């Protein structure tokens, strides 16, 4: 059997999609929520909140709703803006 039986391999956990804005805000206010990435392209805005176990994603196609959602995120949360899905810029 050798040592291969005792090695633990971490398998990536797939992200969870949230369909309601209210559920996303509740998830973002959880204690284990660390950061939010906001990815904007020409069709929609994606909000991705990193919690301890999962990455939760909300897709919003209405840009006005996305702006209101961005303003209602918890103030202590680290927020990153990602443009063109290529790099992340922290928001002050």
Residue 8 lies in a domain: no
Residue 83 lies in a domain: yes
For the chain, the domain total comes to 1
Residue 49 lies in a domain: yes
The pLDDT score that the predictor gives to residue 22 is 97
Q: Are strands 35-40 and 78-83 parallel, antiparallel or unpaired?
A: parallel
Residue 4 lies in a domain: no
pLDDT in tens, 38-67: 999 889 999 999 999 999 999 999 999 999
Q: Are 49 and 36 in contact (CB under 8 A)?
A: yes
What is the SS3 assignment for 4?
Answer: helix
Residue 72 lies in a domain: yes
Q: What is the pTM of this model?
A: 0.77
Residue 47 lies in a domain: yes
CA contacts within 13 A on the Cβ side of 14 = 2
pLDDT confidence band for 10 (50 / 70 / 90): confident
Query: Which residues span the domain enclosing 52?
Result: 14-90
Residue 2 lies in a domain: no
CATH number of the domain bearing residue 41: 3.30.720.90
């Amino acid at each position: 059997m050798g040592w291969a039986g005792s090695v633990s391999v971490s398998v990536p956990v797939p992200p969870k999609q949230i369909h309601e804005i209210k559920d996303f805000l509740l998830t973002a206010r959880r204690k284990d929520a660390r950061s939010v990435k906001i990815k904007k392209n020409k069709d929609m805005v994606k909000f991705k909140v990193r919690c301890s176990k999962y990455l939760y994603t909300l897709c919003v196609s209405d840009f006005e709703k996305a702006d209101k959602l961005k303003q209602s995120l918890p103030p202590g949360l680290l927020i990153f803006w990602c443009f063109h899905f290529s790099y992340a810029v922290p928001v002050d």
